[in-house]
Amino acid sequence: MELDEAEEILALAASAHSGVKVEFLTKPEHIEVFAFIRPISKRSLKLCVELYTVLYKDGLPVQSCSQRCATPLDALKQLSSIALPYSDSVGVVAPHFYKKLENMFVASGYDTCEAAFARVREEVQ
């Protein structure tokens, strides 16, 4: 792996942990959605996409919820249904954002596995 690839993977993994705002082709009114890549549980290396939705009224947040999706494709389907009631047309996710979400998912997998391997190496030594 080249240095540029490693830096890109680390940057994607960092943004996956801190969350990114979902980009729609037609921005739905009254909601914002953020995506995070998280382990399914504390004892698992398996990842999921967590979608955090904030509903606004008069410019102020009034309600929020989160949902977990097993894959980026599942998240894409869920995002369309989340945005549909709040947009004039289908709240389709921007294609470049979906690709970014997939890359974050893969990068987080590398990052999670590397952390697990490091923990095992420490315990063995």
The pLDDT score that the predictor gives to residue 74 is: 92
The pLDDT score that the predictor gives to residue 42 is: 76
The pLDDT score that the predictor gives to residue 122 is: 74
* CA dist., res. 21 & res. 28, Å (int): 13
Question: At 110, which amino acid appears?
Answer: Y
Mean pLDDT, contiguous 10-residue spans, the chain (125 residues): 63 75 81 88 82 89 91 89 70 81 81 65 73
Claim: this prediction has a pTM higher than 0.85: no
* CA dist., res. 55 & res. 86, Å (int): 10
The pLDDT score that the predictor gives to residue 30 is: 83
Per the structure, the count of domains in the chain is: 1
Hey, which residues does 93 pair with through a beta bridge? Answer: 24
95, 80 contact by CB (below 8 A): no
Of 108, 100, 99, 96, nearest in space to 10 by CA: 108
The residues, ordered by sequence, that sit 6+ positions from 100 with a Cβ below 8 Å of its Cβ are 12, 20
Q: Which two tokens stand for residue 47?
A: 């990842």
* CA dist., res. 26 & res. 29, Å (int): 9
Give the structural domain span for 37.
3-124
| Exposure string for 39-52, b = 16+ CB within 10 A, e = fewer | eeeeeeeebbbbbe
